[in-house]
């Protein structure tokens, strides 16, 4: 009988929740592999070390914010904290080898909290979209 009363109290609480509070999506991530002219991974062959590059999010008015990244087991760079919004965000990749800009377009999920990536465009660099990442060809300028 106690279980029946407990369920009777919980059902109105659960059904009164907004649909958006019952689900959420993980933050959008962007994975990049940096290769040289021969297609070799530059992190794997030590041409590009972790202290040789950084990512910046452009905030406007000559202001920007450093974006943290991880390097996964495949020596791909994973941007996990893009702080996307519904619309276009501008970023820069800065390194001792080559610098370039890129934009990421995000869109809100319709039924849940969160933003997903709809498009990524890189400027002034050769790239190829693979299954789960972008392969960026860095050539020393």
Sole residue written with tokens 């907004």: 18
**Residue 24: pLDDT band with limits 50, 70, 90:** low
Q: DSSP character for 18?
A: -
**Residue 1: pLDDT band with limits 50, 70, 90:** low
pTM over cut 0.85: no
> Average pLDDT in the 24-50 region?
90
Burial of 68 (0-12, 13-18, 19+ CB in 10 A): exposed
Residue-wise pLDDT tens digits, 82-95: 777 778 889 999 99
> Average pLDDT in the 110-130 region?
89
Please give the pLDDT value at position 18. 47
Report whether pLDDT(12) > 80.
no
Largest interatomic CA distance in the chain? 76
Spatial CB neighbours of 83, under 8 Å, sequence gap ≥ 6: 57, 89
Report whether pLDDT(103) > 90.
yes
Angstrom distance (rounded) from CA 81 to CA 25 = 13
Please give the pLDDT value at position 7. 43
Q: How many residues does the chain have?
A: 141
Spatial CB neighbours of 81, under 8 Å, sequence gap ≥ 6: 27, 67, 68
Report whether pLDDT(104) > 60.
yes
pLDDT mean across residues, the chain: 83
Tell me what percent of the residues of the chain surpass a pLDDT of 90: 59
Other C-beta atoms closer than 10 Å to the C-beta of 93 total 22
The lowest-confidence range among 10-19, 22-31, 99-108 is: 10-19
């Amino acid at each position: 009988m106690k279980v029946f009363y407990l369920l009777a109290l919980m059902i109105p609480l659960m059904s009164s929740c907004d649909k958006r509070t019952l689900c959420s999506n993980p933050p959008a991530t962007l994975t990049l592999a940096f290769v040289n002219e021969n297609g070799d991974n530059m992190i794997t062959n030590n041409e590009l070390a972790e202290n040789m590059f950084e990512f910046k999010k452009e905030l406007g008015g000559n202001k920007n914010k450093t974006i943290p990244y991880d390097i996964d087991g495949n020596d791909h760079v994973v941007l996990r904290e893009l702080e996307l919004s519904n619309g276009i965000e501008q970023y820069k990749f800065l390194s001792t080898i080559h610098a370039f800009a890129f934009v990421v377009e995000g869109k809100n999920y319709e039924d849940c909290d969160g933003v997903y990536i709809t498009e990524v465009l890189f400027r002034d660099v050769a790239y190829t979209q693979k299954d789960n990442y972008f392969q960026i060809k860095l050539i020393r300028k």
